[in-house]
Amino acid sequence: MGKSQEVKKPHKSGVQGPNRPGPSQESKKQFKHELSKPRPRMKDVADPFMRHYYRMLKKDKTLQKEQTKVLLDSEEEEEEAEEDKPIESKKQMKLTAFQKAKQMYQLKQKEKEEGLKRREEARQRREEARKKYVERKKAKMKVLRQKTKKGQPIMKGRIELLLEKIQRDTGYKS
């Protein structure tokens, strides 16, 4: 037999070869052009609002710092006076969108700080436990490595370690 001939499958449209219908060259170029355009992202859209929000927060922080430096005593008096005031009406208690966002931001910052503190404490505990373990291991190895002048191991330290281990396991205290 000779060369095997490949059987070409007809296109879905039923037309074979270069004459089959498909996207034109212009539509292909236009599609590529559309892909090359940068798409607006949510970050870019929300950016001006967030900048404004952070500016307002910064102003609030600077004002708070100035007030605490100058009027430390007067704030205590104001707090006492606020406690004596009657409960305000519901209309006055409603928060604006900025105030709500500010509260959410402060809440998130507080949670973040607490998380950092907890992680730092856990890291310190692990570090202390590791240091204790290393010290115990060094002391044990120092005892086990002791040799006589002729190179024989000194059994006194080994026996003491075994005795301590037995006492620890049984709960016996001398």
Residue 54 placed within a domain: yes
pLDDT of residue 14: 54
Residue 123 class from Cβ within 10 Å (0-12 exposed, 13-18 middle, 19+ buried)? exposed
- The residue with tokens 């190179």 is 151
Is the residue at 58 inside a domain? yes
Check pLDDT > 80 for residue 5. no
pLDDT digits (tens, 9 = 90+) for 43-74: 555 566 677 777 888 888 887 777 666 666 56
- Which residues form the domain of 67? 41-73
Rg (C-alpha) for the chain, rounded Å, is 39
Structure-token match 């006194």, residue found: 156
pLDDT at 96: 87
Give which of 98, 96, 95 is closest to 56, Cα–Cα.
98
In a domain, 85, yes or no: no
125 part of a folded domain? no
- pLDDT band at 148; cut points 50, 70, 90: very high
Asked whether residue 36 is domain-assigned, the answer is no
- Residue 143: count other Cβ atoms within 10 Å of its Cβ: 14
Q: Is the pLDDT of residue 11 over 70?
A: no
Instruction: Quote the percentage of the chain above a pLDDT of 70.
Output: 58
Q: How many domains does the chain have?
A: 1
Q: Does any domain span residue 63?
A: yes
| Position 67 in a domain | yes
Contact status, residue 148 vs residue 154, Cβ threshold 8 Å: yes
Does 66 fall in a domain? Answer: yes
Residues 6+ apart with CB under 8 A from 65: none
